[in-house]
């Protein structure tokens, strides 16, 4: 009753009922993999909700940062403890959910015309989410994250021509750690980056609603599925509940980022086995595998961290950004697609995606190469060289194998369509062999 009256009041002034009705009655196709993006959405919701609370509990100013985070890691104050734990857990889950969702979009070809732009927006959000995660991880000014910042500062410095400018912008100073470094990280983390993600997210969802969802049902003319209200509204509440349940369960069982064990940051302390949050680990792995050679251009050094720390992530990002425009050039298929492929229907894409995933996993593993070498009783240098070779040879092999599997599975589908199984009958002949019986004309 009250809902009806409020809706009527709003409709009278803004004419909203038609739009609301359109949204509520909108049809969405169904597949389990279409919920992956929703998980990412709700991790972001959890991040914003817990993040707002944390801004009131956290003191970002210089040396207070560690102490105020320590208070949030104190189990005798369960509210702050649980909210910080849920916040950090949702950050690592957020990036994971985006990646898995992106994998679905990539392997089913959902990024194809007309949705190239939404793919690029999503990819940008992945980069922003990782960067937000890194700035948040760095806020407490503990030993582990302080060392991470020092590495980030070295990477910024290594940029040719403008390295010192970039590092000076980051630090707000001409030394590390600069006077304004903590302030810059805090502003980025609680304002610019989340607002940018929120804005892109609105665009992402708006475009999804406007362009309508892709589907596996082979009907290019219409969307086939269920209504939003009440069917998907209930399902999305279920996804929301499941997301939050995962986060609170993780917070209850496993403590993430125990800064009370790391101690505050001093430029002269570091420990063995220090590992960053998982989504930045591939960069750490790349830094470990990177060359020790320092190039010189007209006497100007290019520090070795430049290649694995900056060129590699930017190249990967750029490659994924232009992939929706590269694929049609290779395959010649420039048509608009609302109907999805299964992964094996597009062997090229399957191969490229498998190669990328292989290298991503390899570099992430390389971030723990010292522990791995100790556990396997091999020399670290041998393992590094094995990883280096695998980094280039592995994706070629994995990509070719995956593409081959895709081609064969696609051929099998095509064969079964050309020769339906009920059309051929084998008949034993007098010599003991088999003959194919001709289909009888109807």
Of 4-12, 25-33, 324-332, 357-365, the window that binds another protein (rule: CB under 8 A) is 25-33
Which of 218, 204, 206, 212 shows the shortest CA–CA distance to 340? 218
13 or 221: whose CB is closer to another protein? 221
For the segment 127-186, give every residue that binds another protein (CB under 8 A).
147, 150-151, 153-155, 157-165, 167-169, 172-178, 180
Of 64, 195, 206, 294, the one binding another protein (CB under 8 A) is 294
Write down the least CB distance from residue 250 to another protein, Å: 8
Cβ of residue 278: shortest distance to another protein, in angstroms?
17
d(CA 365, CA 10): 55
Assign residue 166 a region (left: φ > 0; alpha: ψ between -120 and 50; beta: otherwise).
Answer: alpha
Q: Work out whether 245 is an interface residue with another protein (CB under 8 A).
A: yes
Near another protein by CB under 8 A: residue from 127, 200, 208, 244: 244
Site for another protein in 399-438 (CB under 8 A): none
Site for another protein in 355-384 (CB under 8 A): 369-370, 380-381, 384
Q: Which residues contact 258 (CB under 8 A, 6 or more apart)?
A: 73
Rounded to a whole number of angstroms, the minimum distance from the CB of residue 165 to another protein is 5
The C-alpha angle 269, 276, 133, rounded to 5 degrees, equals 120
List helix spans (H) across 266-346: 281-289, 306, 312-331
Q: Which stretch binds another protein (CB under 8 A): 4-12, 61-69, 129-137, 299-307?
A: 299-307
Tokens for 19? 């739009």
Using the rule CB under 8 A, is 273 a contact of another protein? yes
Dihedral of alpha carbons 76, 80, 83, 85, sign: negative
Q: Is 297 exposed, middle or buried (0-12, 13-18, 19+ CB in 10 A)?
A: exposed
Least distance to another protein, CB of residue 277, Å: 15
Count of residues interacting with another protein (CB under 8 A): 99
To another protein, the closest distance from the beta carbon of 1 in angstroms equals 22
DSSP state of 355: H
155 within 8 A of 280, measured Cβ to Cβ: no
Q: Does 86 bind another protein (CB under 8 A)?
A: yes
Contact 128, 197 (CB under 8 A): yes
CB of 236 to another protein, least distance (A): 8
By CB under 8 A, is residue 287 in contact with another protein?
Answer: yes
Q: Could you give phi then psi for residue 158, rounded to 5 degrees?
A: -75, -10
Question: Residue 199 CB: number of other CB atoms within 10 A?
Answer: 12
Say if residues 115 and 40 touch (Cβ distance below 8 Å). Answer: no
* Sole window of 133-141, 249-257, 395-403, 432-440 interacting with another protein (rule: CB under 8 A): 249-257
Using CB under 8 A, pick the residue from 206, 230, 258, 318 that binds another protein: 230
Structural contact between residues 54 and 72, judged by C-beta atoms closer than 8 angstroms? yes
Torsion of CA 159, 197, 360, 214, to 10 degrees: -140
Of 12-20, 286-294, 344-352, 431-439, the window that binds another protein (rule: CB under 8 A) is 286-294
State yes or no: residue 328 binds another protein (CB under 8 A).
no
Per CB under 8 A, the segment of 185-193, 289-297, 320-328, 387-395 that binds another protein is: 289-297
Q: Is 22:229 a contact under the CB 8 Å cutoff?
A: no
- Smallest separation (angstroms) from another protein to the CB of 108: 17
d(CA 321, CA 315): 10
224 binds another protein (CB under 8 A): yes
Alpha-carbon distance of 76 to 80, in angstroms, equals 9
Q: Which of 252, 376, 393, 413 binds another protein (CB under 8 A)?
A: 252
Rounded to 5°, the CA angle 293-304-275 comes to: 125
Place of tokens 């570091």: 270
Binding mask 61-80 for another protein (x = CB under 8 A): --------------xxxxx-
State the nearest-atom distance from the C-beta of 380 to another protein, in Å: 6
Query: Applying CB under 8 A, does 30 fall inside the site for another protein?
Result: yes
Task: Determine, following the binding rule CB under 8 A, whether residue 324 of this chain makes contact with another protein.
Answer: no
**Nearest approach, Cβ of residue 316 and another protein (Å):** 19
Distance of CA 42 to the CA centre of its chain: 14
- Measure the CA–CA gap between 405 and 138, rounded to whole angstroms: 43
* CB of 321 or CB of 368, closer to another protein: 368
C-beta of 227 vs 404, nearer to another protein: 227
Task: Provide the 3-class DSSP secondary structure of residue 300.
Answer: strand
Which residue stretch of 48-56, 237-245, 323-331, 342-350 sits at the interface with another protein (rule: CB under 8 A)? 237-245
Among 101, 115, 189, 288, binds another protein (CB under 8 A): 288
């Amino acid at each position: 009753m009250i809902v009806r009256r409020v809706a009527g009041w709003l409709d009278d002034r803004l004419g909203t009922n038609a739009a609301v009705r359109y949204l509520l009655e909108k049809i969405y196709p169904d597949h389990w993999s279409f919920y992956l993006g929703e998980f990412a959405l709700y991790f972001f919701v959890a991040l914003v909700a817990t993040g707002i609370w944390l801004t009131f509990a956290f003191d970002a100013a210089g040396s207070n940062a560690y102490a105020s985070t320590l208070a949030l890691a104190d189990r005798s104050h369960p509210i702050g403890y649980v909210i910080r734990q849920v916040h950090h857990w949702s950050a690592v889950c957020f990036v994971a959910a985006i990646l898995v969702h992106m994998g679905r979009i990539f392997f089913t070809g959902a990024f194809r015309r007309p949705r190239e732009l939404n793919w690029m927006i999503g990819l940008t959000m992945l980069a922003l989410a990782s960067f937000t995660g890194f700035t948040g991880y760095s806020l407490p000014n503990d030993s582990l994250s302080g060392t991470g910042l020092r590495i980030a500062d070295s990477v910024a410095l290594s940029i040719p021509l403008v390295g010192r400018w970039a590092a000076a912008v980051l630090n707000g100073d001409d030394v590390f750690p600069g006077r304004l470094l903590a302030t810059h990280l805090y502003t980025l983390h609680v304002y610019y980056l989340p607002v940018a993600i929120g804005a892109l997210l609105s665009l992402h969802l708006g475009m999804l609603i406007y362009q309508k969802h892709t589907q596996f049902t082979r009907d290019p003319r219409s969307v086939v599925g269920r209504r939003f209200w009440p069917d998907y509204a209930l399902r999305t509440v279920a996804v929301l509940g499941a997301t939050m349940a995962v986060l609170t369960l993780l917070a209850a069982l496993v403590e993430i980022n125990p800064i009370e064990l790391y101690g505050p940051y001093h430029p002269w302390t570091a420990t063995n086995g220090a590992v960053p949050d998982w989504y930045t680990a591939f960069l750490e792995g790349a830094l470990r595998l990177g060359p020790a050679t320092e190039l010189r251009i007209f006497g100007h050094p290019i520090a070795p961290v430049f290649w694995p720390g900056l060129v590699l992530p930017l190249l990967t990002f750029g490659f994924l950004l232009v992939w929706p425009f590269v694929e049609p050039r290779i395959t010649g298929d420039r048509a608009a697609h609302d109907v999805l492929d299964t992964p094996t229907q597009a062997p090229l894409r399957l191969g490229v995606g498998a190669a990328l995933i292989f290298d991503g996993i390899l570099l992430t593993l390389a971030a723990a190469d010292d522990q791995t070498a100790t556990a396997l009783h091999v020399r670290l240098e041998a393992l590094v060289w094995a990883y280096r070779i695998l980094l280039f040879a592995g994706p070629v092999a994995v990509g070719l194998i995956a593409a081959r599997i895709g081609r064969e599975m696609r051929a099998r589908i095509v064969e079964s369509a050309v020769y339906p199984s009920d059309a051929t009958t084998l008949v034993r002949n007098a010599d003991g062999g088999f003959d194919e019986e001709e289909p009888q004309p109807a």
